[in-house]
Chains A and B, each alone.
Chain A
């Protein structure tokens, strides 16, 4: 997945900097926001992906195909790439039920799902008010 594709398809992190009149303050707010986004990704990686990799049985179910360690690892690579690009952390990361891993973003009327499928392909879907507006293969 190229950096350019990531930058042009995922919603960049909104930066709700509070204007204070002091450039230094604004830089601090922006810096804190960047740190917050990074921390959000770290939580997704540590609390979910790494835990799933350590204990794949946690996702075992008669209803879903759990992602393999290789797919979880690939999802971790994607997560780190998005984190390093400053993309907003997802609302949640979930198994897609077919052996893949899905990052789900919600921004107002938009829903974005970035799925690392069981075959290693990566697909982005963007919905606006539940209407599918974009479907793009990223890898």
Chain B
């Protein structure tokens, strides 16, 4: 079992990247991001992406393709599970930051269903415990462990 493939524990802190340029988070407007920051996009066919704090720091989840600053929303795995969200460790993408996790039942194909709309609202507020950043984009390390 490689680093980052072990099951996600309930007490783990997870990060969600929020592009600064898209207006989904503005600390002068609200301490919480928009629910759209947690909406699956076209490149999320198998679930929205989160990153495990035990494997990567917020400064390293910018990704190589983006050259824009970003914020990081902080959530806790057990909170997501308590509302029915399923977490799967998917560390396989060698080009991305380590510690990748997908919420497998919150994906592009079901993003408009009632429960998934509720989850997006929940993730923005109250499940989002804080928002960190902004961070400048940086090339991710292959693994932090």
Contact = CB atoms under 8 A, between A and B. Distances in A.
Contacts of B121: 111, 127, 130, 132
A96 B23 contact: no
B22 A59 contact: yes
Interface in B13-61: 19, 21-24, 26, 29-30, 34-36, 39, 41-43
Contacts of A131: 118
B66 A113 contact: no
Contacts, number: 72
Chain B interface residue bracket vs A: 20 to 34
Contact of B66 (A58, A61, A95, A125): A61
Contacts of B22: 59, 61, 63-64, 94-95, 97
Contact of B23 (A63, A95, A98, A135): A95
Given A61-B66, A63-B19, A92-B23, A113 B35 contact: yes
Nearest to A61: B19
Contacts of B23: 48, 92-95
A102 interface: yes
A97 B29 contact: no
Chain A interface residue bracket vs B: 20 to 34
Which of A92, A127, A130, A135 has the most B CB atoms < 10 Å from its CB?
A: A130
B142 interface: no
Interface in A85-130: 91-98, 102, 104, 106, 111, 113, 125, 127, 130
B68 interface: yes
Interface in B102-145: 114, 117-118, 121-122, 125-126
Which of A64, A93, A106, A127 has the most B CB atoms < 10 Å from its CB?
A: A64
Interface of B: 19, 21-24, 26, 29-30, 34-36, 39, 41-43, 65-66, 68, 114, 117-118, 121-122, 125-126
16 contacts: A58-B21, A61-B21, A61-B66, A61-B68, A63-B66, A65-B42, A96-B39, A97-B41, A98-B41, A98-B42, A104-B36, A125-B117, A130-B122, A132-B117, A132-B121, A135-B114
